[in-house]
Amino acid sequence: MTLTRKTTNLVPFVSVDNMMKLVNQVGAEPFMMAIADHIEEDFRRWPIFDKRARIASHSSDGAIELMPTSDGVAYSFKYVNGHPKNTKSGLQTVTAFGVLSDVDTGYPALITEMTILTALRTGAMSALAAKYLAPKSASVMAIIGNGAQSEFQVLAFRAIAGIDTVRLFDIDPEASRRCAANLAGAGLNAVICKTSQDAVEGAHIITTATADKQYATILTDNMIGEGVHINAVGGDCPGKTELHRDILLRSDIFVEFPPQTRIEGEIQQLAPDHPVTELWRVMNGEKPGRTSSSQITLFDSVGFAIEDFSALRYLSKLLETEPFYENLDMLADPDEPRDLFGMLLRAKGSANAA
């Protein structure tokens, strides 16, 4: 990829307001489809990226994390938190912002909100994985945990994986009602279920997207029959899981970056050498994805920096034609690069003259 800077010291910034305008201009589903295309392109060149588990600071209430990567041309990082208790005080569980920079100069080329963008890329990544792992002709999806991520997941799966029915369950019935209302008019059959067991009945794809920071059992072994694809989204930090261990032992498990997933994902419940398949190898044809109609596939999704890089790369392209950003004067640009203090003095003189 290449990065084009319009000016020396002004950096494009996408606010929450402009991100919403961009998504509404493009459409949520086409936006996620485009992110999925960029993720697939980047996963196919996986070996060239700098890769490391995210840098996390954990507390009893949540986590604050940095997620960096680079392909040698561009560098990106995302700042993201996860604080499940926030919803009780009217705050978001997850907030984020991100930066895309030019490796050649080190100058940032884009700064953006990533709370909305992360929800879009998470939906895109989930549905992209299902393209390789879900049973053929899957049409019914269950989603357990109907919080902020749920509509993005459903619309991404509709656009990329072809589902037409979603079965909703949340311990808060209002969350399911809100999700169903938000999906009204999307051309989907949304069914609100009274229990998680009811929700998975007849589902070809099962997504878990709960928020509590704890070892939990959202799905028990007896709930999972042959041939389903499980998209485990909610377990994304140490001490937080959603699936009974026995489900993992029956499943073929696919992951993003094993060193991170073994710390944060469902597989933290398993032995460190338990076999898993890296999804990028499936996309490159090096490893098989779904191989039979009876196979249980599990995408142990924790989110990885390359996915954010892909979303930022797509956003940067969009801004070449879409005007939904503002320029920030955030890079010092003295006439003589070594005379930073002189720039201060000249600014002082100009202020005094005024």
Q: Please indicate, yes or no, if residue 223 is contained in any of the structural domains.
A: yes
Give yes or no for residue 4 having a pLDDT over 70. Answer: no
Query: How many CB atoms are closer than 10 A to CB 231?
Result: 27
Name the token pair of 222.
């007896």
Listed residue (168, 175, 226, 224) closest to 195, CA to CA: 168
pTM for the whole thing? 0.94
- Structurally, the chain folds into a number of domains equal to 2
Name all contacts of 88-96 with Cβ < 8 Å and 24+ positions apart: 92/148, 93/147, 93/148, 93/211, 94/118, 94/148
Q: Do residues 112 and 187 both lie within one domain?
A: no
Q: Please indicate, yes or no, if residue 349 is contained in any of the structural domains.
A: no
Q: Do residues 209 and 197 both lie within one domain?
A: yes
pLDDT-derived band at 60, boundaries 50, 70, 90: confident
Domain of 179?
129-303
Q: Do residues 178 and 270 both lie within one domain?
A: yes
Is 228 or 215 the better-scoring residue by pLDDT? 228
Give yes or no for residue 219 having a pLDDT over 70. Answer: yes
Q: Do residues 162 and 293 both lie within one domain?
A: yes
Q: Please indicate, yes or no, if residue 38 is contained in any of the structural domains.
A: yes
Domain boundary among 265, 285, 303: 303
Which CATH number belongs to the domain containing residue 146 in this structure?
3.40.50.720
Give yes or no for residue 99 having a pLDDT over 90. Answer: yes
pLDDT above 70 as % of the chain: 96
pLDDT of residue 213: 58
pLDDT in tens, 7-33: 568 999 999 999 999 999 999 999 999
Q: Do residues 14 and 141 both lie within one domain?
A: no
The angle at the Cα of 299, spanning 297 to 305, to the nearest 5 degrees, equals: 160
Is 236 catalytic? The answer is yes
What value does the mean pLDDT of the chain take? Answer: 94
Task: Collect all residues with Cβ–Cβ distance below 8 Å to 91 and sequence separation of at least 6.
Answer: 83
Give yes or no for residue 325 having a pLDDT over 90. Answer: yes
Which CATH number belongs to the domain containing residue 64 in this structure?
3.30.1780.10
pLDDT of residue 214: 66
Q: Please indicate, yes or no, if residue 194 is contained in any of the structural domains.
A: yes
Q: Do residues 318 and 297 both lie within one domain?
A: no
Give yes or no for residue 110 having a pLDDT over 90. Answer: yes
Given 42, 71, 170, 236, the catalytic residue: 236
Q: Do residues 163 and 267 both lie within one domain?
A: yes
pLDDT of residue 216: 77
φ/ψ (deg, to 5) at 11: -115, 125
Q: Do residues 325 and 185 both lie within one domain?
A: no
pLDDT of residue 352: 84
Q: Please indicate, yes or no, if residue 121 is contained in any of the structural domains.
A: no
Answer whether 163's CB lies under 8 Å from 141's CB: yes
Q: Please indicate, yes or no, if residue 1 is contained in any of the structural domains.
A: no
Q: Do residues 153 and 287 both lie within one domain?
A: yes
Q: Please indicate, yes or no, if residue 123 is contained in any of the structural domains.
A: no
pLDDT of residue 240: 82
Q: Do residues 265 and 142 both lie within one domain?
A: yes
Q: Do residues 105 and 165 both lie within one domain?
A: no
pLDDT of residue 344: 93
Query: How many CB atoms are closer than 10 A to CB 223?
Result: 21
Q: Please indicate, yes or no, if residue 347 is contained in any of the structural domains.
A: no
Q: Do residues 182 and 155 both lie within one domain?
A: yes
